[in-house]
Amino acid sequence: MQDRDTLRRVAATQRLRAAVAGSTGYIGMQCVTLLAAHPNVDLVTVLGHSTAGRRYSEAVPGSDVDIVVGDGLDLGDVDIVFAALPHTVAAGQAQAWLDAGAVVVDMSADFRLADAAEYQRWYGVTHPAPQLFERAVYGLVEMERDRLRSSDLIAAPGCYPTAALIATLPALRSGLVEPRIIVDAKSGVSGAGRSPSLSVHFAEANESVRAYGVAGHRHRAEMLSQMRPASAADVSLTFVPHLVPMTRGLLATVYMRIGDGVDAEAVTALYRDLCCREPFLRYDESPPPTKSVLGSNVAALNCTVQGDTLVVTAAIDNLVKGAAGQGIQAMNVRFGFAETAGLATASAWP
């Protein structure tokens, strides 16, 4: 059998056959849109129970993908599957997909946490494939690029953790800040998914901003699972998400105390240098607005020092860098494609 490096080199010269399961939810739609335009991908299968039997272009407004939507979870002959499915569904199918030779990019939370016990604690159900936890690699590309090159099971991070971790991990890993962190984050309503609910009803969400999950949000556990290994001391994290009346976009404002004796300029320089090296990180001289990254796979960052506190703001498109785009970025790394292939780095303004 060929080793993984050989397979990756071979794949880099060929086109991948890709599938999207859960293709008519917001994240699935974004996956389909990006994969259909990707220079190294042939999108061959789209699955969606509620629209099965219809052409995708009929089920999703504005799409020019003309594939008939399939039912169930049978992928056919594919090299990679993007699973934009409810929690536990992808985990229940992942082993079969892997055994069939497909790389799995899971867009749900099924493999983001440390183990099955932690998953059960936060999601209230028994994990259907605990044997796969050791095989999964967390898909935050900027922090896990080397491990992703050989991974066949990629856990795409949540949208809030994406912004929060890009804002915090560099400083934590360098030891320049104390591990007491506050993350205040705000997301548009598409982050709640496409299924209707009272909280995202127009009359409930319009002209209103509200905090939720204050007593404990699932994404806090995901953030801590990545922050703790990055810090020399135990991490204290306060995370409060907010729903704001816009469709797309997520802004995280992160507060960290600068370590004793640390030059504030050294912390800012750390983020500037990181953004210079990374194709999808951008350093802004002032706190970035969400509109500046809309539709792109870019995370825009700014660092400002207020007294002894470092304030890092991070803006992303929650459906692109916070979901589908990040999954495709991980795919590009895994198969040796150009990391920017099929992904936008510019946003329309205004």
Of the candidates 159, 275, 276, 303, the residue annotated as catalytic is 159
Q: Tell me whether residue 159 is one of the annotated catalytic residues.
A: yes
Cα–Cα nearest to 316, from 339, 344, 337? 344
Q: Which two tokens stand for residue 338?
A: 């150009």
Q: What are phi and psi of 313, to 5 degrees?
A: -105, 140
Q: How far apart are CA 344 and CA 156, in angstroms?
A: 18
Q: Kindly list the catalytic residues.
A: 159
